[in-house]
Structure 1
Amino acid sequence: MKIIIPLIGSFAKAGGFRVMSQLANYWIKDGHDVTFLSYIDGTDPYFPTTAKILYYDNKGDINTQKDNNHPKALLGMFHLRKALTKALNQLEADIVLANHCFTAQPVKKSSIKARKFYYVQAYEPDYYYRKTIKDFIFKKISKKSYKLGLEIIVNASMYKNYKEIKTDKVIYPGLDLEVFKPIPTNKDSKKIILGTIGRLEEYKGTTYIIEAFKMLRKKLGDQIELHIGFGEKHLEEIEGIKVLFPNGDKELAQYYNSLNFYICAGTIQLEAIHYPVIESMACKVPVITTGYYPSNHENSVIVPIKDSIALEKAVIEAINESEAVESRKENAFTSIEQFDWKIISQKMINYFS
């Protein structure tokens, strides 16, 4: 099968790009032909892929090499969508897979003779929440993308009948269980290391974790630390916080394994799948979270959203209830097997077929 994955702009470090790179890698192992179609001045993939990469320019012409000196698109994303449509018109494929609201319209409007799918990895309108003209326009585009008539596949069951999204096809994001696994580490038994992946956006909940940590620090002193992956360096001005930048999945797995507890305090789409939660579970790190599949009361500590006091109490209880923590940790580890990339990639091919 020949599969094209078009991008508006280029690759990035977000988890959704890891998903696309890994799907491509596993499809290629199974004998399929996979090509990414990226903008000509884009960055190289942060998550390695064995797929071919073609590049489209401002006119929609296709190139085999990128050009970082190419003139910028005058109208940004709006210009790129037209160029991407023209580029797709020149190609042949069995499957074209849109994977972001901005790529959905070019895939739909293109004349390429292929089945057209749309892999929805989040309900994107929620991310355009600022009261700006830009966010207002992008929210409208993202809502419209679900009504274009593409064959929709969602990455969590919660999206099967969610607002504008209607589908019966679900493919979870996968996990490399050879990388994300328990690794022996020399943890300091006198230290309690909390961890989170830091993000500025309010809906990620990092601010609530920091507030809870400040309260914990007052109670427990330097016995407790918060290690924030990919956070803002200025956060290290807060006593007890360290900001770390794991490079690649192997270092990321080492980061999770260095923790005593992982905390996720997101505030929206709580039944979706959040990579740091399943990565922590795969590394047998106890999880304290506001939700996110496959978290439940048997495999995690569940707390309310936007509640720093509840987070602080959950950490104290987890420290004092070692038997319950061990039981949840083992249950979580068992629930991770369903995310194996071999299972995930083949299930999507079955939908394509």
Structure 2
Amino acid sequence: MKVVIPMMGMGRSGGERVLAKLANALVDKGEDVYIVAPESNCLPYYPLDSKIVILKSKVKRTRFKFLNFFFNMYYLLCKSRAVNADVAIANYHLTAYIVALLKSSVNKFYYIQAYEVNFSKRYTLKMLAFFSYLLPLKKIVNSKLLLPSYINNYIEVIPPGIDLDLFKSINKEIDTKKLKIGFIGRREPYKGSREIIDVLSKFYLNNRFDFSLNIAVYMDVNWMNKIESFNFYEIHNDEQLADFYRLNDIIIATGLIEDGAFHYPCAEAIASNCLVISNYAPLVNGESILSLKSFDKEELAKKIEQCFELSQSDIINELASNYQLVKDSSWSIVGDKFHKILLHM
């Protein structure tokens, strides 16, 4: 079976990571996988199996961004059509249009990992994202609550996988007298990093609790004016990310939109045996005492305070219960599920 995966680029975003992992899993199943990406952004950040073929589509550069967009989408479409694939997979609203325009004989899938209407302030871009969910593609979602009910006609729910050999626990005891709190800093406002800092700054001011703060990936210089001290960790690969999780007792994995959607830091921190505070899956799919229905500064503060009051038995029960939510999320299991859908849908 020939599988084509058109992409707008091959960087380090979560969506690109998922496609890289799925492509590797499909190759392991004996399928021929072709990734199509613009020649200006086709160097893989995440490791790909050597059997995966990367096809470079032409990139047009003129003075007019609007024209560049249509030219480059056209080149991406032509290169994707040249594969003569049996199956096509999109995971982004722009590539969904590419997949929709492939030959009718192609079995077309849209693996939706975010409701991208929320990601733009411009009305035209919101509509472009929204209409992608109306295209005649077979929708697979990473959470049953991801899309609005009136377009939530998915064929399957498949949360992304986790490398359970990498994101794993180490023997450590959580000392609630001085907790190590961490989160993944993000530039995008809807990720809610600034709001997390606002909450933690009040803990520094009231001086009731003893904790150290660790921030990874991104740090805004303005945060230094709000908090007394923290450690910053640049992350260049998954090994460093796994080390960061294990460094902490608590990971705050909250955001301002898409309550209940799958969230990588939430899942990976659970697998790494951290206490997790989150309004995302997989935590909200269980009975965690630290889950949030949606982001709220006061509620987040209460959950952090609660962590300082947990007994060792409470901690053990919380960690064990949470791990049940991710124990079957290895990429081999997820890849097998995805492969079966491609074969039989």
Provide the TM-score with structure 1 as the length reference: 0.87
Which of 278, 283, 288 is the matching residue for 1:289? 278
| Superposition map of 1:129-278 within 5 A | 130=121, 135-159=122-146, 162-184=149-171, 191-220=178-207, 223-234=210-221, 235-236=223-224, 238-278=227-267
CA 72–226 in structure 1, closer or farther in 2 if over 3 Å, else same: farther
Partner of 2:59: 58
Deviation at 1:297, TM superposition (A): 6.3
Partner of 1:108: 100
Deviation at 1:313, TM superposition (A): 2.3
Partner of 2:17: 18
Partner of 1:3: 3
Deviation at 1:184, TM superposition (A): 4.8
Deviation at 1:72, TM superposition (A): 9.0
Partner of 1:87: 79
| Counterpart Cα distance in 2 of 1:158 and 1:169 | 12
Structure 1 segments of 4+ aligned residues over 6 angstroms from their partners? 70-73, 185-190
Deviation at 1:277, TM superposition (A): 0.4
Which residue identity is paired with 1:111? K
Partner of 2:336: 346
| Counterpart Cα distance in 1 of 2:87 and 2:146 | 22
Deviations 1:272-301 (A, max 9, x none): 100000000000100112343342563350
Provide the TM-score with structure 2 as the length reference: 0.89
Which residue identity is paired with 2:229? G
Deviation at 1:91, TM superposition (A): 2.0
CA 317–97 in structure 1, closer or farther in 2 if over 3 Å, else same: same
| Counterpart Cα distance in 2 of 1:20 and 1:158 | 21
| Counterpart Cα distance in 2 of 1:72 and 1:38 | 22
Deviation at 1:179, TM superposition (A): 0.5
Which residue identity is paired with 1:247? H
CA 244–71 in structure 1, closer or farther in 2 if over 3 Å, else same: farther
1:92·1:112 contact (CA, 8 Å) conserved in 2? no
1:192·1:224 contact (CA, 8 Å) conserved in 2? yes
Identity %, equivalent residues: 28
| Counterpart Cα distance in 2 of 1:175 and 1:15 | 12
Deviations 1:39-94 (A, max 9, x none): 011152211111221101037xxxxxxxxxx8798434433222212222222111
Deviation at 1:5, TM superposition (A): 0.6
CA 142–3 in structure 1, closer or farther in 2 if over 3 Å, else same: same
Which residue identity is paired with 2:142? N
| Counterpart Cα distance in 1 of 2:314 and 2:289 | 10
The runs of 5 or more residues in structure 1 that have no matched partner are 60-69
Over the aligned positions, Cα root-mean-square deviation in angstroms equals: 2.5
Which residue identity is paired with 1:195? G
| Counterpart Cα distance in 2 of 1:215 and 1:256 | 23
Which residue identity is paired with 2:75? A
1:108·1:116 contact (CA, 8 Å) conserved in 2? yes
Partner of 2:317: 327
Deviation at 1:331, TM superposition (A): 0.6
